[in-house]
Amino acid sequence: MGRPSRFFCPTCPYVCHLENKVKIKRRQHLVKKEIEPVFNKEDMKMGGSETDATCPSCSHGRALFSQVQIRSADEPATTFYQCLKCEKMWRED
């Protein structure tokens, strides 16, 4: 017995499980697009404010932060952090 068939998108989490046998007429390979980050390290150093925040990588207790409204206006702003020790960037929604 073979494995269950499925279609999946390599650029997003979409998966379509197939219950019946299908014949594939065309195969297309997608390539992930390069995206630019909302903030890069230089932006954070120039415009970020310093705060107490624990880095998820090195556990350092200080980081730069900046807030951006990236969702609808009735949702809270997203906070971006950059560790002052290892420069790891992370976000909190």
**Residues tagged in the binding site annotation for Zn(2+):** 9, 12, 55, 58, 83, 86
Nearest alpha-carbon partner for 64 in 39, 35, 31 = 39
Q: Which residues are annotated as a binding site?
A: 9, 12, 55, 58, 83, 86
Q: For residues 64 and 46, is the Cβ–Cβ distance under 8 A?
A: no
Count CB-CB contacts under 10 A for residue 64: 23
CA dihedral 12, 58, 64, 40 (to 10 degrees): -40
